[in-house]
Chain A
Amino acid sequence: DTEVTQTPKHLVMGMTNKKSLKCEQHMGHRAMYWYKQKAKKPPELMFVYSYEKLSINESVPSRFSPECPNSSLLNLHLHALQPEDSALYLCASSQDAVRSETQYFGPGTRLLVL
């Protein structure tokens, strides 16, 4: 089973809203990732969690706040977003963040900020 699930599938929010994206995996993976993907562009890494600790923050604005409640769950809290933050947000997981482990992606959340 290489399934990563994400909710919601679609999200529309105003610039003053607070919302959260959720990601879950039950593969026993200890590394989880958030990526942002704009149309016709490759995924861009935002955050990496390794063993439930934030190990990489790719200089992401503070209006994006990640959280890893346990080894299976990863959240991305959104607050005061801008229209240019509209994108596909992808969660991924891998066995380990250090070695060359394959990352498996969830279906993504398509976010529209109005």
Chain B
Amino acid sequence: GQNIDQPTEMTATEGAIVQINCTYQTSGFNGLFWYQQHAGEAPTFLSYNVLDGLEEKGRFSSFLSRSKGYSYLLLKELQMKDSASYLCAVRGFSGGYNKLIFGAGTRLAVHP
């Protein structure tokens, strides 16, 4: 079956670095995505990993280890506007087709 785990909540200080972990079990892994979602708004795409290693995009980096079923999202130089939910989503094979399965999300609160 499909299973995605990430912490429910995290807090961090403005200007600091935070790492949000995601572990997954899936059939036919075909990519891992991170989305940011502010309360009441749509998820916005942050990053995509399909091969092992680190992908860096400005203040955000995402890492993937397929053998460990593990990913993390690293946010540097935190800003207040980074307070949001961060969704880990895995594209896998389920029910006969590829689909995107979302984790429950990690609510990040950034405080001054």
Contacts and interface: CB of A to CB of B under 8 A. Distances in A.
A, B bound: yes
Contacts of B30: 100
A66 interface: no
Given A41-B104, A42-B87, A42-B105, A100 B31 contact: yes
Q: Give chain B's interface residue range (CB within 8 Å of chain A).
A: 20 to 34
Contact of A55 (B33, B45, B97, B104): B97
Query: From DSSP, what is the main secondary structure of chain A's interface residues?
Result: loop
A107 B105 CA distance: 18
A112 interface: no
B112 to A, nearest CB: 25
Contacts of A98: 98
12 contacts: A43-B43, A43-B87, A44-B102, A45-B100, A56-B99, A100-B91, A102-B48, A105-B43, A105-B44, A106-B42, A107-B41, A108-B42
Interface of B: 30-31, 33, 35, 40-45, 48, 50, 87, 89, 91, 97-100, 102-105
Interface of A: 2, 40-45, 48, 55-56, 88, 90, 97-98, 100, 102-108, 110
